[in-house]
Chain A
Amino acid sequence: MDTTYTVQELMAVVLARELNDGEVLRVGVASPVPEAAVRLAHLMHGPNMELVFLGARMNVAHLASVPMPAYGWDRRVVRWAESYSDTGHRFDRVKDWSNHVFFIGGVQVDAYGNTNLIGIGEDYRRLRFRGPGSVGTPTLSTHVGRYYIVLNNHTPRVLVERCDYVSAFGWGRGGADARRKLGLPGGGPRLCVTPLCVMDFAEESRRMRLRSLHPGVTLEAVKAATGFELVIPSAVATTAAPSAAELEALRTRVDIEGRLRR
């Protein structure tokens, strides 16, 4: 077993370790790292997890492998589903979502974990970059117990002090009560995982804080790649590398086609 790993494999392992048995894990479109992470957690330590890929809900802990990808819109592909939320409703029941987890990206992510899928530019009617739109992220981020921001690029253009537009409210302009003041029942963003590091949110200010640097990444590199001032703790850990068992499960049971190794 080759124990060298790609950064995407590392990100998937980091996220998988975060997920607990019994949770409901919701993954949207075009998110290979979370897609791998939820499968890995399910097979390694989460026999009572439920995976929801778009509308298809499943528990496939009995399977030897759960290869990627899978889409709810094609019954041929998703032979694992036990039910579809695709039958004329989607957010009909959002109460009691404290054990639901989801994963979000953004064209911008700001210092307080707010995310933007609307676009970039001062004039909304003439955006410099028009994003794809909010999908269901405003509702999901409002109600799920916690969510993870996952980025394929860690650059000052993506990680900004303040989003031009906010499509999912993280911690607003900061403060541990920012969400409670608005009456948002969900627990907000827990981590931001990028190709360079793992970040969390400082307890009081809820400003993004460096939690661990991926092996081989320097603090200076992260600072230079971040468009705002991160909270830097006195001791910065190194992200624990994937174990041989994690890598083997990931490569032989989940990411069989090697999407995360490209």
Chain B
Amino acid sequence: MNSARRTRIVDELEAAEWIQSGMTIAIGQPTPMALVRQIIRRGVRDLTVVDAGFSLDLLIAAGCVRKVVSYYAGGGFGYPVTPAFRRAAERGAIEVWECEEGILCAGLQAAAQALPFLPWRGGVGTSLPEVNPDLKVFTDPISGETLIAVPPIKPDVAILHAAHADPYGNVQHLGGPGWIDLFMYRAADRTIVQVEKIIANEEVRADAWRTTIAGADAVVRAPYGAHPFYSRGYYIQDNDHLREYAEAAGAGEEGRLRAYLERYCREPASLGDYLERIGIKRLLALHEY
């Protein structure tokens, strides 16, 4: 019998195989782009995606998404609404589970606590319960107030990006986790965290207060793995690259968008191949300090 503690380190190709067509996935901020690109590369389809912004847009553009749980699909770079989301939503090619930040947190928290719903006040009086019939307006039995019952949002897998983890899934963020990441971790059946650096278990135990996620199911070593997004303590957002995507997706020419997806998501087999394509000079220019 093997008595050694099992490590949870996998590479991004193996981790991405956890995500199967039809699943619900939650994507944290900073954005775990190494995993997102592998999902696209594998041609996963019919996902329900809990996400916002450009990573959501990229997955829609690549045809991976059936349903979106989103509070915000704004992008900037000349596009107040991210282009692929806008087109797909207007065509009816994706279903939108309309929500907002507070409702999203309530739904994830309900899942984490195995509750049938959690109440939330933000959204009372708005169209949210009309356009999203899963949100039920109800009268609070204690005070008689009008509230919204938010059903659980249950991701099969949460995928996150963080600074560090040890081989056993103890994750330590630099500068704190993204605002939604812990909600996603708590709600999901399984969590994959890609990290800039894998650190020794001794280092975790030296200051266990720094551990933000206790027990990620898989750890993926992914230096620069959030590119073109930021990774706190490591690098800043690559606005030139995000603009390149926005222009490719926003031009409304299938060809340009397909060329982007081929070049950055489908052709590079691994994170290393992708980073080679981006180029070392560009990556080093994004250093945070």
Binding site for A on B (CB under 8 A): 29-30, 52, 70-74, 76, 80-82, 85-86, 89-92, 98-103, 105, 120-128, 130-131, 145-146, 175-183, 212, 230, 232-233, 236-237, 288-289
Q: Which of A121-172 contact B (CB under 8 A)?
A: 124-143, 165-169, 172
With a cutoff of 8 Å between Cβ atoms, the chain A residues found around residue B92 in the complex are: 125-126
Q: Mark A218-236, 1 if CB is under 8 A from B, else 0.
A: 0000000000000000000
Contact count band on A = 35 or more
Q: Closest Cβ of chain B: how far from A231's Cβ, in Å?
A: 22
Complex CA distance for A227 and B224, rounded to whole angstroms: 49
Report yes or no: B122 in contact with A75, Cβ–Cβ below 8 A: no
Report yes or no: A88 in contact with B230, Cβ–Cβ below 8 A: no
**A-B contact number at CB 8 A:** 153
Report yes or no: A118 in contact with B102, Cβ–Cβ below 8 A: no
Determine whether A184 belongs to the interface, using a CB cutoff of 8 Å to chain B.
yes
Find A134's partner among B98, B176, B183 (CB 8 Å cutoff): B98
Complex CA distance for A202 and B85, rounded to whole angstroms: 38
Determine whether A262 belongs to the interface, using a CB cutoff of 8 Å to chain B.
no
Report yes or no: B89 in contact with A139, Cβ–Cβ below 8 A: no
Complex CA distance for A135 and B176, rounded to whole angstroms: 21
Report yes or no: B90 in contact with A169, Cβ–Cβ below 8 A: no
Report yes or no: A88 in contact with B125, Cβ–Cβ below 8 A: no
With a cutoff of 8 Å between Cβ atoms, the chain A residues found around residue B236 in the complex are: 74, 76-77
Report yes or no: A183 in contact with B131, Cβ–Cβ below 8 A: no
Q: Closest Cβ of chain A: how far from B140's Cβ, in Å?
A: 9
With a cutoff of 8 Å between Cβ atoms, the chain A residues found around residue B145 in the complex are: 183
Binding site for B on A (CB under 8 A): 29-30, 55, 73-77, 84-91, 94, 116, 118-119, 124-143, 165-169, 172, 179, 182-184
Complex CA distance for A73 and B175, rounded to whole angstroms: 10
Question: Which of A30, A84, A91 has the most chain B CB atoms closer than 10 A to its own CB?
Answer: A91
Closest to B233 in A: A75
Complex CA distance for A74 and B229, rounded to whole angstroms: 10
Report yes or no: B122 in contact with A88, Cβ–Cβ below 8 A: no
Q: Closest Cβ of chain A: how far from B99's Cβ, in Å?
A: 7
Closest to B179 in A: A86
Report yes or no: A131 in contact with B81, Cβ–Cβ below 8 A: yes
Closest to A137 in B: B100
Q: A129-B90, A133-B73 are in contact. Are A75 and B175 (CB under 8 A)?
A: yes
14 further contact pairs, Cβ within 8 A, besides A75-B233, A133-B70: A91-B101, A91-B122, A130-B81, A132-B81, A133-B72, A136-B102, A137-B100, A138-B102, A138-B122, A139-B102, A139-B121, A166-B126, A183-B121, A183-B124
With a cutoff of 8 Å between Cβ atoms, the chain B residues found around residue A118 in the complex are: 98, 127, 131
Complex CA distance for A91 and B28, rounded to whole angstroms: 17
Complex CA distance for A140 and B52, rounded to whole angstroms: 18
Report yes or no: B178 in contact with A86, Cβ–Cβ below 8 A: yes
Report yes or no: B90 in contact with A168, Cβ–Cβ below 8 A: no
Complex CA distance for A127 and B52, rounded to whole angstroms: 19
Find B237's partner among A74, A84, A134, A165 (CB 8 Å cutoff): A74
Find A142's partner among B124, B131, B288 (CB 8 Å cutoff): B124
